[in-house]
Amino acid sequence: MTETELKTLLSGITPPDEAARAAAHAHWAGLAKPLGGLGALETLLEDAAALTGSAALDVSRRAVLVLCSDNGVVAQGVSQTDQSVTRAVAENLAARRTSVCQMARTAHCDVVPVDMGMAGDPVPGVADCRIAAGTADFTQGPAMTRAQAVEAVGRGIRLVQEQKAAGVQLLATGEMGIGNTTTSSAVAAVLLGQPVERMTGRGAGLSDEGLARKVDAICRGILRNEPDPTDPLDVLAKLGGFDLAGLCGVFLGGALEGVPVVMDGFISGVAALCAVRLCPAAAKAVFASHCSSEPAARLVLDALGKAPLLTAGLHLGEGTGAVASLPLWDMALAVYDHCYSFAEGGITPYTPQC
């Protein structure tokens, strides 16, 4: 995909359907329960109606896309393990043995591991969307070319299109890539204009010394590459990862195709931020799941104007937080579709008192 083709696609993203949102709101108001009694579960479905254009909702077919890639910045000692772990986890994702696989089985959700750019040979059972065998070390220069960033975004969009064509109605986002909290912190620091120290956490359990190396690497990467905070593709290309750019495309694809996309934690939140900076109307497809314990997670949610359904101190990755929220969608829809109405119950409807 070229940048021109990407811009043409994004111009087709329309605003939310407010008539469908109002119809979903009216349906909730007719059910025999206190008005707004299910809080965020009600607005969740109203937002989904506004995205899909229909107050009749079905998300029984769902999948979590786990985008995997390696990041050259691990050479700077920013992670507790080396990049071989990315491949090892990808192999276990393909074998359906990881944490998100167990949770997804319970949530009736398919798991789709995707290779966006891992080192080494392709992993059997992992979808091949690889751009290259990992990004470059951004302390030495750009992580990728601008053309690679655009292509990664495009492949994320195509993943959504393929999933929708297969009948999937709801997507959750996940990722696996040693060093990707470093790339995400770097991108977020630039896009939000925040100090690197405020945007950087311990990832998978760094020591104080490791955290200091991580902050230093990000600072050096920003100084070396001078990313333009008004140009999300420039920031992604210079400081991001193929997984981050692919996830950005997934959120854009959700907006294009009318498919709700549930973001996981900090990393997919940064990808959603990139998507919304590229196309503000894409925000309609972004659904928050939880607030990660990464220090900048709340800042990213606030920047997106999204409220999490869960706050449980999760920071595992793989899409576990997004998948953990899916049963709440099911419970909301159970009431929405099957609760009796005021009329059916012979009860006088509630009316707003303020």
Cα-based torsion angle of the residue sequence 10, 57, 19, 305 in order, rounded to the nearest 10 degrees: -60
Nearest in space to 307 (alpha carbons), one of 325, 332, 282? 325
For residue 17, the domain's CATH number is: 1.10.1610.10
Q: What tokens appear for 161 in the block?
A: 């299109």
- pLDDT score of 354: 66
18 is catalytic: no
Residue at 352 is within a domain? no
Q: Are residues 72 and 141 in the same domain?
A: yes
CB-based contact 116:128 (threshold 8 Å): no
- pLDDT score of 302: 97
Q: Are residues 265 and 232 in the same domain?
A: yes
Split the chain (354 residues) into runs of 10 and give each run's mean pLDDT: 95 97 97 95 98 98 98 94 94 98 98 97 96 98 98 98 98 97 97 96 83 95 98 98 98 98 97 98 98 92 96 93 98 97 86 73
- pLDDT score of 342: 87
Domain count, the chain: 2
- pLDDT score of 201: 86
Q: Are residues 177 and 142 in the same domain?
A: yes
**DSSP-derived 3-state class of residue 244:** helix
Question: How many residues would you count in the chain?
Answer: 354
Distance, CA of 194 to CA of 199 (rounded, Å): 7
Which of 3, 175, 318, 344 does the annotation list as catalytic?
A: 318
- H helix runs in the chain, sequence order: 3-10, 18-29, 40-52, 84-94, 99-106, 146-165, 180-192, 196-199, 208-225, 232-239, 242-257, 266-278, 297-304, 320-338, 342-345
Residue at 354 is within a domain? no
Q: Are residues 32 and 179 in the same domain?
A: no
pTM over 0.95: yes
- pLDDT score of 53: 98
- pLDDT score of 203: 79
Residue at 350 is within a domain? no
- pLDDT score of 81: 87
Cα distance from N-terminal residue to C-terminal residue, the chain: 51
Residue at 235 is within a domain? yes
Q: Are residues 109 and 43 in the same domain?
A: no
Cα-based torsion angle of the residue sequence 173, 176, 179, 183 in order, rounded to the nearest 10 degrees: -20
Q: What tokens appear for 316 in the block?
A: 């595992």
Q: Are residues 15 and 51 in the same domain?
A: yes
Q: Are residues 261 and 181 in the same domain?
A: yes
Q: Are residues 341 and 298 in the same domain?
A: no
Q: Are residues 99 and 240 in the same domain?
A: yes
Q: What tokens appear for 265 in the block?
A: 């934690």
Q: Are residues 137 and 259 in the same domain?
A: yes
Q: Are residues 231 and 128 in the same domain?
A: yes
CB-based contact 127:115 (threshold 8 Å): yes
Distance, CA of 252 to CA of 328 (rounded, Å): 24
Domain residues for 22? Answer: 3-56+336-345
Distance, CA of 20 to CA of 84 (rounded, Å): 47
Q: Are residues 30 and 79 in the same domain?
A: no
For residue 90, the domain's CATH number is: 3.40.50.10210
Residue at 293 is within a domain? yes
- pLDDT score of 110: 98
